[in-house]
């Protein structure tokens, strides 16, 4: 069965072998204060920098989930005010976390299934702008150029990008953003339980400022502590060592395939699925505006056919993801990650095209 749920999703095909190597190399028993662990952390940093084009001005930290980064980013980067583009369940949850942390939260909302135009101005008092690059619940994405434009129009705020279900696909211009994060159980095809948080020097300085002002910015996972340990390729706590090891290996696998190939294949697979949805008599793509269509999480309006189509796909070995929340009855979601091969997508498209 090929798993098209948008996360946890299909494991990348090399992961079972890497798990075996991990056991052989005693990775689960490694001390997180050992040279061997430092080497693994360093491998992740080197691999991700090369794969994603992350400049040296960014530090790379591990958290337990992207959900944790929602909380830590607000604690460490916002004294009073954050601004959130909300167009689905996950962007909404990020804003709710800021509210729970007693921040003054400004929302700009779009209907589900729609994206955003870059607003002409955002109040200058805003300290953090939260952009959900790929809204996993609705399959709406930001063009990377629009994110750069957003930054050009708002240079004082920190621009934080939730790329949970899109990286490694998007080719961000890292000079135009301040922080990005993702979790490994989506497009990296790994077991869940690890988040990756990139921050630049402006973020580190902001956390230092909040700390100096006497604010509580959390403890073992505040930015100064994460940074001090990351400088030694260590983590403050005993982390998910096995998850970090697997990420180091899959980053190498992705590099061997080449980021250009991965991106081209992602675009090809997205194109054939959207084409099938656009030309289908009874089902359609949920996101109408082509420039806002996610390449990595593709949502189909399947209406009254939902259960029947899901069952039919399953009979062909294709496990579609449910629509999110209330859309469970009327939509299906299809993850398009490196773990999903061109052949699997061609089969998926073929089955959908023949479905009546």
Q: State the residues that interact with a second copy by CB under 8 A.
A: 1, 3, 5, 7-11, 15-16, 19, 23, 26-32, 63-68, 70-71, 96-97, 100-102, 183, 185, 190-194, 216, 218-221, 236-243
User: Least Å distance between CB 130 and a second copy?
Assistant: 14
The answer to whether 1 touches 321, Cβ cutoff 8 Å, is no
| Interaxial angle between packed helices 241-257 and 259-278, expressed in degrees from 0 to 180 and rounded to the nearest 10 | 80
Of 274 and 334, the one with the shorter C-beta distance to a second copy is 334
Q: Are 33 and 234 in contact, with CB atoms under 8 Å apart?
A: yes
Do 224 and 40 touch, CB atoms closer than 8 A?
no
* Shortest distance (Å) from residue 227 CB to a second copy: 16
Nearer to a second copy, 200 or 225 (CB): 225
Nearer CB in complex with a second copy: 219/260: 219
- 15 or 349: CB nearest a second copy: 15
HSE-up of 36 (CA within 13 Å, CB side)?
12
Contact status, residue 101 vs residue 74, Cβ threshold 8 Å: yes
- How far apart, in whole angstroms, are the C-alpha atoms of residue 131 and residue 176? 13
Give whole-number Cα distances, 339 to 5, 48, 52, 117, 345, in Å.
12, 17, 17, 31, 11
Closer to a second copy by CB, 25 or 350: give it.
Answer: 25
**Cα–Cα distance list, 139 to 205, 292, 295, 332 (Å):** 34, 9, 8, 11
* Min dist. Cβ of residue 159 to a second copy (A): 21
Give me the least distance between CB of 46 and a second copy, in Å please.
22
Shortest approach of a second copy to residue 83 CB, angstroms?
A: 18
Whether a cis peptide bond, with omega within 30° of 0, leads into 168 is: yes
Q: Which CB atom, from 216 or from 291, has the smaller least distance to a second copy?
A: 216
What is the C-alpha to C-alpha distance for residues 93 and 100, in angstroms, rounded to an integer? 10
Smallest distance, a second copy to C-beta of residue 94, A: 10
Please give the Cα distance from 179 to 334 (Å, whole number): 27
Residue 209 phi, psi dihedral angles, 5° rounding: -65, -45
Taking the least distance from each CB to a second copy, the nearer of 133 and 280 is 133
Residue closer to a second copy by CB (options 143, 236) is 236
Taking the complex as a whole, the smallest distance from the CB of residue 127 to a second copy amounts, in Å, to: 17
Strands (DSSP E) found in the chain: 2-3, 58-63, 81-86, 104-109, 128-132, 134-135, 140-141, 158-162, 179-183, 195-200, 284-285, 297-301, 318-319, 321-322, 331-335
Paired with 59 in beta bridges are 199
Residue 136 C-beta: closest distance to a second copy, Å: 11
Shortest spacing between CB 325 and a second copy, in angstroms: 10
User: Using CA atoms, how far apart are residues 206 and 246, in angstroms rounded to an integer?
Assistant: 32
CB nearer a second copy, residue 65 or residue 344: 65
């Amino acid at each position: 069965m090929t798993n098209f749920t948008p996360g946890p999703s299909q494991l990348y095909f090399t992961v079972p072998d890497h798990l075996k190597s991990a056991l052989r190399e005693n990775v689960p028993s490694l001390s997180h204060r050992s040279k061997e662990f430092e080497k693994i952390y360093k491998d992740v940093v080197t691999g991700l920098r090369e794969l994603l084009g992350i400049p040296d001005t960014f530090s790379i930290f591990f958290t337990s989930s992207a959900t944790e980064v929602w909380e830590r980013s607000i604690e460490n980067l916002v004294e009073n005010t954050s601004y959130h583009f909300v167009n689905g369940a996950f962007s909404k949850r990020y804003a709710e976390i800021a509210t729970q942390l007693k921040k003054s939260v400004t929302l700009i909302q779009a209907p589900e299934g729609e994206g955003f135009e870059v607003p002409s101005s955002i109040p200058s008092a805003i300290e953090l702008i939260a952009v959900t690059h790929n809204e996993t619940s609705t399959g709406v994405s930001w063009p990377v150029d629009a994110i750069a434009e957003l930054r050009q129009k708002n240079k004082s705020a920190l621009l934080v990008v939730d790329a949970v279900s899109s990286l490694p696909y998007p080719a961000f211009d890292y000079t135009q953003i301040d922080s990005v994060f993702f979790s490994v159980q989506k497009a990296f095809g790994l077991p869940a339980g690890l988040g990756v948080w990139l921050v630049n020097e402006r973020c580190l300085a902001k956390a230092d400022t909040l700390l100096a002002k006497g604010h509580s910015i959390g403890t073992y996972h505040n930015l100064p502590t994460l940074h001090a340990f990351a400088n030694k390729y260590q983590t403050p706590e005993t982390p998910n060592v096995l998850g970090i090891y697997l990420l180091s290996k899959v980053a190498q696998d992705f590099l061997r395939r080449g980021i250009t190939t991965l991106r081209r294949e992602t675009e090809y697979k997205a194109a054939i699925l959207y084409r099938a949805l656009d030309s289908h008599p009874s089902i359609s793509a949920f996101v109408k505006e082509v420039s806002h269509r996610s390449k990595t999480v593709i949502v189909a309006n399947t209406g009254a056919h939902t259960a029947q189509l899901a069952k039919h796909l399953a009979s062909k070995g294709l496990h579609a993801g449910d629509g999110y929340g209330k859309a469970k009855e009327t939509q299906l979601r299809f993850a398009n990650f490196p773990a999903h091969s061109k052949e699997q997508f061609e089969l998926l498209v073929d089955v959908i095209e023949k479905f009546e």
